[in-house]
Amino acid sequence: MNGPVRIGVLGCSAIARRRTLPVMRDADHIEVAAVASRSADKAREYAAGFGGEPCGYHELLARPDVDAVYIGLPNALHHEWARLALLAGKHVLCEKPLATDQSSAKDLEDLATTNRLVLRENFAFLNHPQHDEVKRLVADGRLGAVRTVAAAFGFPPLPATDIRYRAELGGGALLDAGVYPIRLAWHLLGDGLSVAGAVLRVDPALGVDVSGHALLTSPDGVFADLEFGFQHTYRSRYQIWGSAAALRLDHAFTPPPGHRGSLDIEEQDHGEQLVMPAAHQFRLSVERFADAVRTGWSARTEAPWLAGARETARLAEEIRAVAVTVPAQAGAA
């Protein structure tokens, strides 16, 4: 592909407005070609601000001037519309999670692979170079043998009308906030993670989980202790505790573009702080997706993205299946 990647936007979500569409509008090799929403007024509003022609969902997928589709719909609709986009021959960048269960994720993985189409889950944090440095330090043995990965992502309660409180749309903290530490655990520890135990705090009036805690184990016995929710003060961090040292990273999942994070390494008698370069992880996520589309599908580059999406869906499904549920406190939402 020599020209820009022409993207159709399926779903006028808040994350699209705040994060993804400004990057697409300003990128050199991306053009927003069409915008679809259930609301014609919202589609026109987004098209006026970010480019493209307002249209309906099915109309967007049929357009020959759309090379790829960005899906910002509620979680429960990701599989249906990603599947239709792939069947229409479009590459897909989908907001997380790609699917709400393992079988749906595998279905999309198979479709994308068979049709040689780029399919990526928009976990922007994975594109930030600070995590590459963490993996390098672990691989080089800086922390010794890794014993535990502990990760937390949580934030205060959402407005009562937020779609993340709607069970029929795939709401709940596990699929919204919990998938971040789950994906991080897979990113650091690889395949074969299993769920040793979990607890979900559920709001009985809403029918959705509002926070949770899960313990995963790797095949070689590393623990992954994961916390998440939207009942908390903001926290976005992880720590790797090894036999020789521990490493901690704050602002791990949603650092602002100008933020320079630090890897704080602690030994028994020594401390070290490594300051990381700033990076715009949403821009990197979108641009790398577009580069993959322009370059052409490659099994080597796309396989890790597909495996990560499948494993994230599997682990979230297993957490929900084994979790002990407790009622949320009054005023949780």
Any idea which residues carry the catalytic annotation?
A: 96
Distance CA 30, CA 46 (A): 16
Phi, psi of 203 (to 5 degrees): -85, 110
CB 20 within 8 A of CB 26: no
DSSP for residue 255: -
Structure tokens at 87: 């069947």
Distance CA 215, CA 194 (A): 9
Distance CA 153, CA 123 (A): 14
Phi, psi of 74 (to 5 degrees): -55, 155
Distance CA 75, CA 77 (A): 5
As beta bridge partners, residue 237 has: 152, 250
Alpha helices in 68-178 (DSSP H): 78-87, 102-114, 129-139, 173
Write the single-letter amino acid at 245.
A
**Strands (E) located in the chain:** 5-10, 30-36, 53-55, 68-71, 91-94, 119-121, 146-154, 194-203, 208-217, 223-229, 235-242, 246-250, 262-267, 270-275, 324-327
Categorise residue 17: left if φ over 0, alpha if ψ from -120 to 50, beta otherwise: alpha
